[in-house]
Amino acid sequence: MGECGAAADVNSNVLLSAGTGDAQLDKAVWQWLSWDKNQKTKEQIQELLRAGQLQELRARLCQRLKFGTAGLRAPMGAGFSRINDLTIIQATQGIYRYLEQRCPGLRLRGFVVGYDTRGQEASDCSSLKLARLTAAVLLAKEVPVHLFSTYVPTPFVPYAVQQLGAAAGVMITASHNRKEDNGYKVYLANGAQLSSPQEKEILRCMEQSLEPWAGSWHQHLVDCSPLRQDPLGAICRSYMQGLSRLCWHRELNQRCQLRFVHSSFHGVGHHYVQEAFRAFGFVPPIPVPEQQDPDPNFSTLSCPNPEEGESVLELSLRLAEKEGAKVVVATDPDADRLAVAEQQEDGSWKVFSGNELAALFGWWLYSCWRQRAPPGASPANLCMLATTVSSKILRAIAQQEGFHFEETLPGFKWVGNRAHELLGMGMEVLFAFEESIGFMCGTLVLDKDGVSAAAVLAEMASFLHAQGLSLAQKLSQVYERYGYHLSRTSYFLCYDPGTTEGIFERLRNFGCPQTYPGSCGAFGILHLRDLSRGYDSSQPAGTAVLPTSGSSQMLTFTFANGAVATLRASGTEPKIKLYAELCAQP
């Protein structure tokens, strides 16, 4: 042991012997300082202990990571409630234990690992390092690992799981979250994210596997084990070839006079979006140079979330004006979501909402199906999906055109698994979306995918441009045909879970116990749905149709005038989200 390591252990022993007076905290401190081999995160706990920061220690060490709507996600740093080397090892040990029990062919099928470009120097933590530790845990147990040799878009992991026939896969990413965060997104063999019953089982397996096993810290296995393979080249080629199933106007694309700008938001998307455009026959989009390369600090952005609109698209819009490009596409840092802006005739820019883009994608993908279908073919076997907090525009299109539409709970873990079930029933899933600019075009990937969505959007814009139409003009036509759907989404930041819970409990006990509000201002409430409690007043027995999730907060109000509003606690960020929509008749 080196001098620094020996000094740290002596330091730890002195601090441990003093104790905090809290038996639960003392045990957690002992476990952390005994198990953690990352010197920087170990020192963070030692410093908090020396400073007597007991409240902060309890927050970091007496709580554990839980699965939200997109896997495990938390700030990077020391503690069992944060993303770091030790918690990623614990999570992977839990998944290995789960798969060992549930997947007899685990050592034949292997496991896929991908990662984005996030990192935090203060904690010696990066997505690459966490991916290597994930791989090391599995390699030490003689499980073949398909570890990408460089960063990839999140959708490449579920795609690779299906293409390689792997038992499962993990993507190390926090998507569009702030720079301090990272995450751990799990996909099972069907290529969809974990659903709630599986999450609970894996959490139990994690609780049984907290202490790192011999070999779990051995990152060198990634470099020397014959069980480690790099799927990058084969998966990238296969994915780009698969995109051809979504391309219907290649010759038109090759002649396209419309110019596009793309921002990858300092993330992984640049190379892959360029290749996707080429796969569709386009000249690649003009990249925003300041945001083209990965940067874990997201230096040019106040927030790495393209959903925030024009304020975070400033560099893209100015470049588009300079280059004469009429359409801007932006992928979030892990390239699973897509923002779109279009220059209007007066020179202003329209940034489309996720719901507006879904209206266009829904129209486009159904139109492309109708174009290729035999005359008189019935669309009864087709399906589109949306999360329950998203616009009802797909439902309106489905009702007129005769195809099937379903809603799911928020989060693509619900969408992807339901799409997989529908495929098993012989249905064709054309499109699925969530209002937070997450789109699944076809079933190349059973998750939202900003790379394929960017290429499909470009083809749609090119097609409309050839007809003398803009995206905004076509959106108006879609609403004229299927009914205007006016939506508003917003959010409130709330960093205290207790405050969030108190807000929802007050609404459940409004005026008197177990009574929901009967009106909001001058507007009467006709029905109320509380999926945290499994209650829906619109159903004969008062029982909600959608699955109940006691771990998340979500209330939906249906007003007498037809408006629908949902208040929901985010599963990935410290936000209370508000979704409202008013649907008109065609």
User: What is the full DSSP assignment across 261-284?
Assistant: EEE-TTSSHHHHHHHHHHHTTPPP
pLDDT, position 511: 87
User: Could you tell me if 386 and 407 are in contact, meaning their C-beta atoms sit under 8 angstroms apart?
Assistant: yes
Best CA proximity match to 147, nearest among 181, 215, 136: 136
The ranges assigned to domains in the chain are 29-236, 237-354, 486-584
Condensed to tens digits (0 to 9), the pLDDT of residues 482-512 reads 999 999 999 999 999 899 999 999 999 998 9
pLDDT of 333 above 70: yes
What is the rounded distance in angstroms from the CA atom of residue 356 to the CA atom of residue 73? 28
What is the rounded distance in angstroms from the CA atom of residue 41 to the CA atom of residue 28? 14
pLDDT, position 2: 47
Query: Is 175 in the active site?
Result: yes
Q: Kind and range of the H or E element at 524?
A: strand 523-530
pLDDT, position 21: 81
pLDDT of 578 above 90: yes
Buried b (16+ CB within 10 A) or exposed e, 291-318: bbebbbebebbeebbbbeeeebbebbbe
pLDDT of 9 above 70: no
What is the rounded distance in angstroms from the CA atom of residue 283 to the CA atom of residue 265? 21
What is the rounded distance in angstroms from the CA atom of residue 508 to the CA atom of residue 236? 49
Best CA proximity match to 144, nearest among 213, 76, 205, 96: 96
Strands 327-331 and 338-343: antiparallel
pLDDT of 548 above 90: no
Cα distances (Å, whole numbers) of residue 70 to 209, 408, 413, 436, 447 = 22, 15, 7, 13, 11
Cα distances (Å, whole numbers) of residue 247 to 174, 270, 310, 399 = 30, 20, 29, 26
Strands 554-559 and 523-530: antiparallel
Residue 309 is classified by DSSP as G
The share of the chain scoring above pLDDT 90, in percent, equals 88
Rounded to two decimals, the pTM is 0.93
What is the rounded distance in angstroms from the CA atom of residue 57 to the CA atom of residue 73? 19
What is the rounded distance in angstroms from the CA atom of residue 554 to the CA atom of residue 530? 6
Query: Domain 29-236 sits in which CATH superfamily?
Result: Alpha-D-Glucose-1,6-Bisphosphate, subunit A, domain 3 (3.40.120.10)
Residue type, 263: S
pLDDT band (50, 70, 90) for residue 104: confident
Higher-pLDDT residue of 15 and 456 is 456
pLDDT band (50, 70, 90) for residue 183: very high
- Sequence-ordered strand ranges (E) for 116-178: 119-120, 125-126, 145-147, 168-172
pLDDT of 6 above 60: no
What is the rounded distance in angstroms from the CA atom of residue 362 to the CA atom of residue 385? 10
pLDDT of 3 above 60: no
93: CB partners within 8 A, 6+ apart: 137, 205, 206, 209, 212, 213, 216
What is the rounded distance in angstroms from the CA atom of residue 115 to the CA atom of residue 125? 13
Q: Count the neighbouring beta carbons within 10 Å of the beta carbon of residue 42.
A: 23
Could you tell me how far CA 494 lies from the centroid of its own chain?
20
pLDDT band (50, 70, 90) for residue 477: very high
The mean per-residue pLDDT over the stretch 436-454 comes to 98
The mean per-residue pLDDT over the stretch 334-361 comes to 98
pLDDT band (50, 70, 90) for residue 203: very high
Residue 113: φ, ψ to 5°: -130, 125
pLDDT of 356 above 60: yes
29-236 and 486-584 in the same fold: no
Condensed to tens digits (0 to 9), the pLDDT of residues 226-261 reads 999 999 999 999 999 999 999 999 999 999 999 999
What is the rounded distance in angstroms from the CA atom of residue 44 to the CA atom of residue 8? 12
Q: CA triplet 335, 336, 337: central angle to 5 degrees?
A: 95
Instruction: Tell which CATH classification among 3.50.50.60, 3.40.120.10, 3.60.15.10, 3.20.20.70 matches the domain 237-354.
Output: 3.40.120.10
pLDDT of 182 above 50: yes
User: Could you tell me if 185 and 127 are in contact, meaning their C-beta atoms sit under 8 angstroms apart?
Assistant: no
Choice among 126, 175, 390, 470 that is catalytic: 175
Q: Kind and range of the H or E element at 200?
A: helix 196-207
Q: What value does the mean pLDDT of the chain take?
A: 94
Q: Which two tokens stand for residue 334?
A: 């892990």
Residue 75: φ, ψ to 5°: -65, 150
Task: Tell me if residue 477 falls in helix, strand or coil.
Answer: helix
Residue 181 is classified by DSSP as E
pLDDT band (50, 70, 90) for residue 4: very low
The mean per-residue pLDDT over the stretch 540-569 comes to 89
| Three-state DSSP string of 319-341 | HHHHHCCCEEEEECCCCCCEEEE
293: CB partners within 8 A, 6+ apart: 266, 270
Classified by CATH at the fold level, domain 486-584 comes out as TATA-Binding Protein (3.30.310)
pLDDT, position 105: 92
pLDDT band (50, 70, 90) for residue 560: very high
What is the rounded distance in angstroms from the CA atom of residue 193 to the CA atom of residue 430? 19
The share of the chain scoring above pLDDT 70, in percent, equals 97
Q: Which two tokens stand for residue 61?
A: 């060490």
pLDDT of 17 above 70: no
Best CA proximity match to 265, nearest among 285, 290, 229, 246: 290
User: Could you tell me if 266 and 300 are in contact, meaning their C-beta atoms sit under 8 angstroms apart?
Assistant: yes
What is the rounded distance in angstroms from the CA atom of residue 282 to the CA atom of residue 365? 19
User: Could you tell me if 383 and 405 are in contact, meaning their C-beta atoms sit under 8 angstroms apart?
Assistant: yes
pLDDT, position 149: 98
